[in-house]
Amino acid sequence: MPIVAGVDSSTQSVKVVLRDSDSGELIASTSRPHPDGTEIDPQHWWKALSEALEELSSHKISAISIAGQQHGMIALDKDGAIIRDALLWNDTRSDKAAVELNQEIPDIALRTGSQLVASFTASKLRWLADNEKENANKVAAIALPHDWLSWKLSGAKSLDTLFTDRSDASGTGYFDSVKNDYCLDILETAMRSSKQIILPKIIAPNQFGATSVDFIPIAAGAGDNAGAALGLGASLGDLVISLGTSGTAFAVSKSSTHDSSGEVAGFADATGNFLPLACTLNAAKIFNTVARSLSISFEEFSSLALSAKAGAEGLRMVPHFDGERTPNKPRAKGSFHGMTHSNFTKENIARASIEGVVAGMIYAARAVERLGVSYTRILLIGGAAKNAAVQQISADLFGRTIHIPAIGEYVADGAAKQAAWALSGKENPLNWSLGEIKEVNSRNSDPEIVESYMELISI
């Protein structure tokens, strides 16, 4: 019974799961926190991962894979030392740099699948070149968080041994996921330099890239969303709606997507397909804020929402509390619409809050659909997916059955599945059971409610 390890190195923490390579049965798991912030010393991630693996060291691990937060810029000098703290995906100081690069490279979406926004690595490199020239001049290699952790795990010193996978590389802004190769001219434009910079070698998702100092094979790894898709066993025809602090809508596609509007990122997945993804900034955090403002628990919030009529008697909430990414309205604010003396009740406020967030996910899903990506099944995941009101209102507004997998560490599970896949030597990923999948059917579907939200979101 070989045991494989899957790692999810996210913004908030590192989670490690150990699973049976053949069956996918969970053997053990642990986690360690990461420091908060938008620029972080990667050594904190390495310390957290090392501690987590040490806790699980009584188990014999046959293979390991690391999935991680995307876009983060780790700049290394010629000796492999970290030049400055990593700029993470949520660091927005590079927003103007993204606008500049989109103007300088008009065909960037056609080539890389995505218009640049502040989160992309290329945008952060342009910011570095313009604001920290001394640091920019020291750059000998660029790695992403999961690349760097895999490299550290291997104990390697040579920058030439850095490796990654196409899913994480597709979030850099200088990678062509159709050709599976870097666009070096885009990198040079971003850096304002033609100096040769080492980038991680792209390896296949079922390959090992190195061996750890403990002689454990290290698989390619993946970006976090691709890791989640692999962990869920998402396939062609699946749309995944993830409701965490922020929200994501992504679907598995056989062909690449290229969205010049910038609403959908044309990512690659961790199997050889593609993973067009739209992100919203406002999801489960809205529910917590509204529940707190009403001085009720989250459980009471859910009960109130279910007790209200569909459509909240005309009350609408546009939940752009943190601005918005899809549609791209960074300076937007949240708002209520259609308020009357009779409909402005706790019940309707709770209902409108959930309907507003779910409507935002429908907007994101439609943005993916507009690129020719269709879906027949909706998987609802994330912390808020456990909530009965969120489940039912999602089914009602989408007008479809919603499928809710058992709660799990999907990103870490996807990494573990990738390690098992590489260990098996097979052409396709292993088919681990997801366990029981709950189905919630639509009961009060009303397209007019959805369309009223689409109008408000688009204003």
Count the Cβ atoms, other than its own, within 10 Å of residue 36. 8
* Residue 88 pLDDT > 90: yes
* Residue 211 pLDDT > 90: yes
The DSSP symbol for 441 reads -
* Residue 442 pLDDT > 90: yes
**pTM score of the predicted model:** 0.93
Going along the chain from its start, the domains and CATH numbers come out as 1-222 (3.30.420.40)
208 CB-side CA count, 13 A: 20
Could you tell me which of 180, 238, 241, 235 has the C-alpha nearest to residue 205?
180
| CB contact set of 103 (below 8 Å; sequence gap of 6+) | none
Mean pLDDT within 43-57: 98
Residues forming the active site: 224
Mean pLDDT within 421-430: 95
pLDDT over 90 for what percent of the chain? 92
Cα separation values, 379 from 228, 250, 382, Å: 12, 10, 10
259-294: b or e for each residue (b if 16 or more CB lie within 10 Å)? beebbbbbbbbbbebbbbbbbbbbbbbbbeebbeee
pLDDT in tens, 362-405: 999 999 999 999 999 999 999 899 999 999 999 999 999 999 99
Residue with tokens 């699946």: 238
**Mean pLDDT score of the chain, rounded to an integer?**
96
Could you tell me which of 223, 222, 228 has the C-alpha nearest to residue 205?
222
pLDDT in tens, 124-157: 999 999 999 999 999 999 999 999 999 999 999 9
pLDDT band at 459 (very low <50, low <70, confident <90, very high): confident
